[in-house]
Amino acid sequence: MLLSPTAMHIPDGFLSVVVSVLFWLFSLLAIAFSIKRVKQNLGEKEVPLMGVLAAAIFAGQMLNFTVIGGTSGHLLGAALATILVGPWAAILVMTAVVATQALLFQDGGLIVLGANLFNMAVVGVAVSYAVYRLIYQLFKGREVGIFIAGFIAAWSSIFIASLLVALQLALSGTFSADLAIPAMGGIHALIGIGEGLITIGALAVLFASRPDLLNISPAQAGNNRPILIAGILIALLLAVLSPLASSDPDGLEWVAEEYGFLQTAQEPLYQIIPDYVFPGVENEIVATILAGILGTLIVFGIAWGIAYARRAKATS
């Protein structure tokens, strides 16, 4: 059965204004620092990679997968981005994805956008980076370490981000911490397994085709166009497949429904392409595919533009 992807991020109404403003400040500081640092660390291959990663992560996030008991999960992608382009560029990649989802597709509220950015773009990347480096170093450069470290980093990014959401809900008075932490942590521990397996799959493809992107072989100079073309094609394919997404509620929505605070969610302040369904198209499958393709291209353009501008400034 063909289905539309479900909304996935914290909506307005779940968090208090004070908590929302606080995490806006945290996110803006982290993003500003990342913009400053990425200029110093951005190589030639990272420019197309940032655009491709943003596009693929956006499209991949539309493909919710069934977990258990009528619940679904979705790719976060922070670990994969961190492994491939480093933490500072990964924060900007994830920021492009999460901000576009909120601003264009009404996936996640605007008031709480700072919290969503902090959870996924900042903490998701920071946890991935710390865990991947620690685990990979334990394997002393052995290639199997890439996959084990990648899986654990991906799982950890989902799990820790879910605990942070639980803390934000508790600080907002929406959901008590003694219930929020085990509820969010339990369901996202399962979702994290899916994240880990997807990450391993992507790493395996890169290991077989472009091991230089994983820093285990010399860089292939002047060979960035294939990355760009193949990456965009894969991202567009994922967007076309987006109607296959599970319609089951994601982890946060499931917890909110089970524990009775789903009704606190507020309607979006405006609607452009709500719920990833392109307006004015009667066939919902076609409308979802069009929305996915448009979002994929927009996110690619934003991330690639940021990378190109920072790279040009660094070399001028």
Is pLDDT of 114 > 90? yes
Domains belonging to the chain, first-starting first, are: 17-315 (1.10.1760.20)
Lowest-pLDDT range, 37-41, 184-188, 196-200, 298-302? Answer: 37-41
Instruction: For 180-189, write each residue's pLDDT tens digit.
Output: 999 999 999 9
| Encoded amino acid at 199, one letter | T
64: confidence class by pLDDT, cuts 50, 70, 90: confident
Is pLDDT of 219 > 60? no
The two three-digit tokens of residue 316, written as one number: 């001028």
Q: Which residue has the tokens 């508790």?
A: 170
Residues 277-282: what's their mean pLDDT?
Answer: 92
Residues 5-16: what's their mean pLDDT?
Answer: 80
In this prediction the pTM is 0.92
